[in-house]
Structure 1
Amino acid sequence: MTPFTYARAEDAAGAIALTGAHADSRYLGGGTNLIDLMREGIEAPAALIDVTGLPSGIEPRDDGGVWIGAAVKNTTLAADRTIRTRYPALSRAILAGASGQIRNMATVGGNILQRTRCTYFYDDAARCNKRAPGTGCDAIGGFNRIHAILGASPACVATHPSDMCVAMLALDAIVHLDGPMGARSIPLADLHRLPGDTPEIDTVLRPNELIAAVELPALPFAARSAYRKVRDRASYAFALVSVAAALDVDGGTIRDVRLALGGVAHRPWRAAKAEAALRGRPATEASFRAAAEAELADAAALRDNGFKIELAKRTIVATLGDVMEAGA
């Protein structure tokens, strides 16, 4: 591991100032991903700025929304009574996301910014455009069972690993950022990038910008939500496919819906086509299947991951069924 300096910030302003004083620095939350990347030589910052002093509160809002500090631990967020009541899919996604030990360390901000777990990204003997731009992507012609079926490019077929982000995306989360150019807020849907020709760039964050908080807007029917994760083993494992869903049903007809997928793309995937296909339709398995077909119509399989297309469709149908059963 390359030697580095360490400094602790008490707040966002202090963290931003420290990045200006330390060239080639990275923000450090729980370190559950960054430290691994440093051990593997993928990341080699000259300085780490500890941002665990950032806001770590969970504040219910009078309008029904919730404000979540970037330094809130995953365990704390999953166990919070307001989250479990207003946004149960988020609590379930976090609990499905990692071991208890990792959840106890990982922060909300760090979870959002974690990098892919593609095996070729971690293998310095492999070609990887995300790790070493311009070298190629050995995953495309290699063993690619876990890789993307939506939004991929000839440069990269890696997937985003977060469970939490899938649920937050379905819940219309807004990410509040701060940096040298000032504060700004963007929808989580706009934070992560598809790979295109520059897969090494994961997000739209500006240099030295950090996540200060996440806001979950009021969404009353999110209380009727579910998260389902399909993985190779029941213990700690990343998703082959995951689905977060919330339904607003009146008299058997779907008035509104939120749907997002994980394990299928370079970023958490908002299922906009499926949502459009569901609104105004009867809340039946046939409608769920038709919506799933619409969403996966453009999916493209690699040699080893064609099963993911049908798996994603079935997981969408099953998760929407879970929501209906929970609201019965």
Structure 2
Amino acid sequence: MKTAIIGLPMVGKTSLFTILTGVHEAARIGSMEARAGVARVPDPRVEALAEVFQPSRITHATVEYLDFPAISKEALRDPSYLSSLRVADALAHVLRMFESEVVPHEKGSVDPVRDMEDVDIELALSDLVVVEKRLERLEKDRKKVKDPALDHEFEVLERCKAALENNVPLRNLDLDDAAEKRIRGFGFLSLKPILYVLNLGEEQAPRMLEIEAEFRAKVKAWLAEAAAEYLSPPEKPWGLEEFVTRSKAWQLKKFEAGYVGITWPKAIGGQGLTPMHQIIFNQEESRTYVPNGLYSIGLGMCIPTVFTHGSPEIAGRYVPK
């Protein structure tokens, strides 16, 4: 899977990329290209299976991280920047929490919730351009031919347009599986799962958990306010906990979940998506792979031929977290 590391200038994106991948490279001023690195994701279940089957090799899952130049209106108008960002499976948005006179914040003050909202708005506006162009084409196509699939796509995109025009990320919409599948191919940026990474200063370390809790509370309030208008109306009023459970503003769930006992690459990549892995094993190899978040219908495209042909030598099953 590919996780794009994004954020405003001077927030620590490249530092996070280096920590996760071990790739050291000087910053390229003015470049719109993302640099790539790979991190291995250890999995104790694979190690346990290896002890039983004694394979000749063990292959752990990997996460490819893309270190993107700072997000800006100009960057999101660059075709190569956008195309690279759209193929990512998830986003890791680095938010600056530290103060520094040597490296001042580009907006003059440190406010991670503001920065989070500003970047979400830019991503939403980028998606809005795609939606409007597609709706124009659908208007013409629906006049030429009667096709229920086109009508459904038009309805879904109209709903997406209404949300995006109000700066609401598409991931906050309460879309059913059919609607989400219909728009998945567009690679909408605001639909991608996103993980917010807080970059604290050394002096803030003693208050790390307190700062995290404060940030979660602010984000929960912001998400609830932003998403509420675009969720399906409930049969009865929801409390916050029920809203967290039922809404597609899935970030709320992840903020509540925590990452106790999970390695950094897994927390930054694997846990941001639906927790499902494919593990295969035999006497030759023990392997875990497949990006989290794939629908079961799409898993066949990622499973080796020997497995999809039903070889009795390989046993496999989904292993939920």
Larger radius of gyration: 2
Whose helix proportion is higher, 1 or 2? Answer: 2
TM-score (norm 2): 0.27
Whose strand proportion is higher, 1 or 2? Answer: 1
Which one has more relative contact order, counting CA pairs under 8 Å at least 6 apart? 2
TM-score (norm 1): 0.26
